[in-house]
A and B are shown apart, each in its own frame.
Chain A
Amino acid sequence: MIELENVSYTYGDGALLSDVSVKLQPGSFHFLTGPSGAGKTTLLKLCYGALLPTSGRLSVFDEDIARLDRDQMALLRRRVGVVHQDCQFLDHMTLAENVALPLMVSGRAESEEQDNLTELLSWVGLGGRLDAHPPELSGGERQRAALARAVILSPDVVLADEPTGNVDWEMSQRLLRLLIELNRMGKTVLIATHDLSLIRAAKSQVQARVLRISQRKLHLAGADL
């Protein structure tokens, strides 16, 4: 599904990732951890083509990402849902419009959009906030809305970058449950987080592989977590 073979990423003179190899199988659940600035976000960005490897091979859905043109990249991104820590909403649009954005850009009919939207926002517990604008939402609501937007096209992979970074413990557990639920639906999930308590909480509910980035390298984390 997503496979990195000896992938390195360099920005300017500094190497952010070096010789990273990992394979995310369909339906698997992964945590990506490491200290701030270790390269978690960089690795996630590589996985959905926001950055391209400086060297090595990265394939997503068996496509070498470096060989895709911009149109092909857009189609690939429709199969990869992404949740950012800062959510990245368009503030001039309502919550419903923001969540429906992937449907809109992929040219789905408005009626289909409405059905999916209502169902999805109820699933994340935001059924009553359709007309709210992003600045009016709490941190937890924003994260849940970002998750809804990430999965509205029913992607094969969900990548979440510090999804619980701005929310309290209760909300982080709620978000985790939603992500686990997605994994049970067959989605591959990769969560970048430095919150070890979240990983510990997840391990009792789902079989998760924990990857740790340190010294620009990726390691499989041990039982110390």
Chain B
Amino acid sequence: MSNGDLRNLLRRDTRADRVVPPTGYTAHLTLFVSGAMAFLAVFALALSLASGRIADRWASELAGAATLRINAPAEQMAAQTETALTVLGQTPGVASARALTAEEQAALLSPWFGPDLPIETLPIPQLIEIVEGEPGLDTAGLRLRLGAEVPGAVLDDHTRWREPLVDAAMSLRRLGWVSILLIGGATAAMITLAANASLAANASIIAVLRQVGARDRFIAGAFVRRFTYRAFFGAFVGTMLGMTGVLLLPDPSDEGGFLTGVGFQGLGWVLPLLIPVLGAVVAFFATWTAARRKLKELS
């Protein structure tokens, strides 16, 4: 199909478009399917973008940090903490290290024990937050040295739980994109069925058009434009409803975690506006293919 053919097919021709009866169940089917699919695509896109953001954030935030936990009797806690900070201060690849305050440790526990936890009465280990710097932390070497000098120290470089989390977020993102592809495929299939039904129902009209000298391009164009514009309109309405739904989701918060982060941010709000255009493109090619095949069959 040349660019000229494409332009001619898409150019609105109200007279030519009149040859296809404006009513019929295929009109409602196309509108409904493209609207519903666009609505779902908005959520799949929002999920995919949010998963991507989460994966990036977890990967970057956690990759440059480690935690040292000191399990020691209360009377040795301060001394071991001091020794550990000294060791860390001398270790290459450690940009900074600091012991969390009692308030910070209480805040970490508050989701489980509530905000008024008397932390000083509990045998809580001391946590030291380590921020990695250049040339990178040699965790194996650091573990050996800490083992010798701070017997109660346990180094956690977050690898153990960071990787599965990032993997999960990446999988969720992939799932989102696969869903969008499936939605596109399902839309194409449904519109192809609707176009085939419409072409079959209008076989007598096609026969009349052929008898008066219409080329296949003219006949296919009338159907293609009808379905493309319907799909665009349906998808536009579905997208608007989907975006409204996303807009009404709760704002991102620490308490809500991932669930409240599903949505669009910044320029991400522009992306769903492409869905009606993509819906129209899918409808265009689905109808064009169906029309060419059906017209060949009917000749």
Contacts and interface: CB of A to CB of B under 8 A. Distances in A.
B16 A74 contact: no
Interface string B48-83: 000000000000000000000000000000000000
A71 B204 CA distance: 19
B22 A92 contact: yes
Nearest to A80: B213
A97 B205 CA distance: 14
B211 A82 contact: yes
Contacts of B18: 92-93, 97
B216 interface: yes
B208 A88 contact: yes
Contacts of B212: 77-78, 101-102, 105, 149
Contacts of A71: 215-217
Given A92-B22, A97-B18, A101-B19, A48 B211 contact: yes
Contact of B213 (A78, A89, A92): A78
Interface in B202-260: 204-205, 207-218
Contacts of B15: 97, 104, 110
Q: Range of interface residues on chain A? A: 20 to 34
A71 to B, nearest CB: 5
B21 interface: yes
Contacts of B209: 101, 105
A70 B299 contact: yes
Interface string A125-162: 00000000000000000000000010001000000000
Nearest to B217: A71
B216 A105 contact: no
A75 B216 contact: no
Contacts of A88: 204, 207-208, 211
Nearest to A81: B212
Interface in A78-128: 78, 82, 88-90, 92-93, 97, 101-102, 104-106, 110
B215 to A, nearest CB: 4
Contacts of A110: 15
Contacts of B210: 50, 74, 77
Contact of A74 (B205, B207, B215): B215
Contacts of B215: 70-71, 74, 105
Given A77-B210, A78-B213, A104 B22 contact: no
A89 B212 CA distance: 11
Interface string B1-42: 000000000000001101101100000000000000000000
B19 A70 contact: no
Contacts of B211: 48, 50, 77, 82, 88
Contacts of B208: 88-90, 101
Interface in A46-68: 48, 50
Nearest to A107: B218
A61 to B, nearest CB: 13
A110 B213 CA distance: 17
A50 B204 CA distance: 13
A70 B21 contact: no
A153 B216 contact: no
A204 B204 CA distance: 38
Nearest to A100: B15
Contacts of A104: 15-16, 19
A92 B21 contact: yes
Nearest to A78: B213
Nearest to A104: B15
A189 to B, nearest CB: 17
Interface string B132-163: 00000000000000000000000000000000
Interface of B: 15-16, 18-19, 21-22, 204-205, 207-218, 295, 299
Given A74-B214, A101-B208, 13 more contacts: A74-B216, A78-B213, A88-B207, A90-B21, A92-B18, A92-B21, A97-B18, A101-B212, A102-B212, A104-B15, A105-B209, A105-B214, A106-B213
23 contacts: A70-B215, A70-B216, A71-B215, A71-B216, A71-B217, A74-B213, A77-B210, A77-B212, A77-B213, A78-B213, A88-B208, A90-B208, A92-B18, A92-B21, A93-B19, A101-B209, A102-B213, A104-B19, A105-B209, A105-B214, A105-B218, A110-B15, A149-B212
